[in-house]
Amino acid sequence: METSTPTRAGSTPQHAHYFRPRRLGHVNLVISDLDASMRFYNTVIGLEEVYRVPAIQGGFLSNGNTHHDVGMVGSSGPSGRGRAPSLNHLAFELESEVDLVLGYERAVQGGVIFQRTLDHDIAHSAYCADPDGTSCELYADVVRDWRNARTGVVTKPKPAWKPGLTVPHAERNYEQNPEIRRLDHAVFHPLRTKHATLQVSSLENSVRFYRDIIGLDLLVHAPRRGYALLGGTCGERNIALVQNGDGQPASMHHFGVELASEAELEASVDALRSRGLAAEREVKHPLRRAVYVADPDGLRVQLFVDRSSNAADWAAVEADQALWVL
């Protein structure tokens, strides 16, 4: 049976969970050419360069929502580890470091294996992997003024961090009223990175992971149509899980960057064409108007505006349209 499960922001999910994210905070990519990718996400997608970390061939961009909406690491660097360009990790923003530490301790007691815990100077993080090996970062900001803490070229090493070893921050250090910056030279003018769509090897296993371990609300469960939608306490659709066909590898199909209006999106599509650039696909669906562009490594970005917020409508997307609509 296909179901939609509308959930109020801040409400408690129906299942046990370790963490309770607000939202998807950012995506981090493995890329082949840092300069080319940073230029694309600045001049085409419309995100401002915030800082770079040469030690990992890393670059980070934002339009003001948070310290980065998109991050990237070089495939030949220590974080890329020789992998082909792809999704590096998904990052879920928590309310505070207290929530991060308590969630981490509950998860460890529950048998969850974490890949690592890190001090990013402006945030503390714990990483675990979903059933297909996709890395998921649970993080909490520990510095509010990230613009001054992280800018330009960052060479400061990341010290060891052990959850619970020191008294965790209880403050909510994420941007509550962000200053959204518009880059006039860019093709698109986004609000922020809002969701990622994953092709998964087992829909039900992935649903259990993102619901019970990551702690997202299951908003739409449509197993006969082969997909599910989940989101954090902000009440957004942050993760779309789409069942793979036989023999297809699990991977990120795309990530979605929201724009303010359809008029803004249409103007950006015109600007894209005027620069001689081509969209991979355009979607005009009752639920979503979207255009897809590929970055220098062929990774897809969906620039979109939603046309409906009705959960029941989102439970009725045809199976053959799910990957491109969600």
Same structural domain, 134 and 203: no
Q: Structure pTM?
A: 0.94
Domain that holds residue 79: 23-153
Instruction: State whether 135 and 256 are in the same domain.
Output: no
Angular region, 10: left φ>0, alpha ψ -120 to 50, beta rest: left
Structural domain includes residue 241: yes
- 54 plus 141 within the same structural domain: yes
Count up the domains in the chain and report the number. Answer: 2
Q: Let me know whether 206 and 143 are in one domain.
A: no
- What CATH number is attached to the domain comprising 58? 3.10.180.10
Same domain, 149 and 192: no
Asked if residue 262 and residue 208 are part of one domain, the reply reads yes
Give the mean pLDDT per block of 10 residues along the chain (326 residues): 50 66 97 98 97 94 93 88 92 97 96 93 95 97 88 80 89 92 96 97 97 97 97 97 87 97 97 95 97 98 96 94 96
Residues 193 and 292 in one domain: yes
In this predicted structure, what is the pLDDT of residue 242? Answer: 98
Together in a domain, 117 and 72: yes
- Confidence (pLDDT) at 249: 86
Asked whether residue 165 is assigned to any structural domain, the reply reads no
In a domain, 33, yes or no: yes
Alpha carbons 276 and 7: distance in angstroms, whole number: 43
Checking 82-85 for CB contacts under 8 A at 24+ apart, the result is 83/30, 84/30, 85/29, 85/30, 85/31, 85/32, 85/297, 85/298, 85/299
CB 89 within 8 A of CB 134: yes
For residues 208 and 306, state if they share a domain: yes
Nearest Cα neighbor of 99 from 18, 16, 176, 161 is: 18
Please check whether residues 8 and 46 belong to one and the same domain.
no
Tokens at residue 282, please? 């355009």
Q: Do both 194 and 146 map to the same domain?
A: no
